């Protein structure tokens, strides 16, 4: 099908694809994130690292507009999420956790509903191609609650790609994927980033993905960003004896101290 997206949300071309400024957020009255600031530029793959409970998913929920912060601001391509949420969310592709997918819908219905919510009249050609690449076509008309974890993960990623988003936000997106699908997804995301068609923010524990595909990485520890690695830093770590794992351990010790 043709990619008919309707009216495009205007872009602030000089703005970062994502700007998080002094964000404090949590659940109830309990803070999880404290004074977090982060930028993602156009055509950049940023990896978000940190131990379980460090606040990675909370940060992604704030960026996706699923959680309102206590303080601070999130902007997508210059559009403030709090004041221009519709314009901002049209530019975002969020891969939700597989367990959050609606079990009583089929995969096709999920894609159609998601496309309609983003103002897209037809599923993107790129998404249709990825359906074939990920061997997902046979599951399109099956109910989500019959899917395995890996199949749900594929659907979550496909939903994140609908509407040619400027920022693709993923949380452990490769968990449960078979090796061929995982490799195909990594290569597709890298192609989008290299062509500056999209930027990627990936929360992950998979350091091999970070070392091979990411342009930059940041470490979140106890709700604060305590370390960032530039493209040149990651390049140096790839050729070092200890690599990123040792650098994260050292940074975590320093951040805890």
Domain 12-91+167-175+200-257 is of which CATH architecture? 3-Layer(aba) Sandwich (3.40)
pLDDT greater than 50 at residue 4? no
pLDDT score for 45: 97
Question: What tens digit of pLDDT does each residue of 141-158 get?
Answer: 999 999 999 999 999 999
pLDDT number for residue 6? 38
Task: Work out the pLDDT band at 238, boundaries 50, 70, 90.
Answer: confident
pLDDT reported for residue 1: 34
**Residue 239: pLDDT over 60:** yes
Average pLDDT over residues 222-245: 88
pLDDT at position 167, please?
98
Domain locations along the chain: 12-91+167-175+200-257
pTM, whole model, 2 decimals? 0.90
pLDDT of 65 > 70? The answer is yes
Indicate if the pLDDT at residue 5 is higher than 70.
Answer: no
Average pLDDT of every residue of the chain:
91
Give 26-51 as a 3 state SS string: EECCEEEEEEEEEEECCCCEEEEECC
């Amino acid at each position: 099908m043709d990619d008919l997206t309707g009216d495009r949300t205007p872009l602030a071309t000089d703005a970062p694809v994502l700007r998080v400024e002094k964000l404090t957020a949590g659940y109830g009255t309990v803070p999880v994130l404290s004074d977090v600031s982060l930028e993602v530029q156009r055509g950049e793959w940023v990896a978000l690292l940190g131990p379980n409970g460090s606040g990675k998913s909370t940060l992604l929920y704030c960026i996706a507009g699923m959680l309102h912060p206590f303080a601070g601001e999130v902007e997508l391509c210059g559009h403030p999420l709090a004041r221009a949420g519709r314009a901002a969310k049209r530019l975002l592709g969020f891969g939700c956790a597989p367990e959050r997918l609606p079990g009583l819908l089929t995969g096709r219905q999920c894609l159609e509903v998601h496309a309609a919510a983003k103002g897209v009249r037809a599923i993107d050609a790129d998404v249709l191609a990825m359906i074939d690449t990920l061997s997902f076509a046979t599951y399109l008309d099956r109910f989500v609650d019959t899917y395995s974890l890996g199949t749900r993960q594929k659907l979550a990623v496909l939903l994140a790609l609908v509407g040619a988003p400027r920022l693709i936000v993923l949380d452990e997106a490769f968990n449960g994927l078979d090796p061929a699908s995982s490799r195909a997804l990594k290569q597709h995301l890298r192609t989008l980033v290299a062509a500056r068609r999209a930027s990627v923010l990936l929360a992950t524990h998979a350091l091999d993905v970070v070392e091979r595909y990411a342009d930059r990485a940041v470490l979140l520890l106890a709700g604060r960003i305590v370390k960032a690695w530039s493209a040149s830093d990651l390049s140096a770590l790839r050729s070092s004896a200890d690599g990123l794992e040792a650098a994260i351990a050292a940074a975590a010790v320093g951040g805890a101290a």
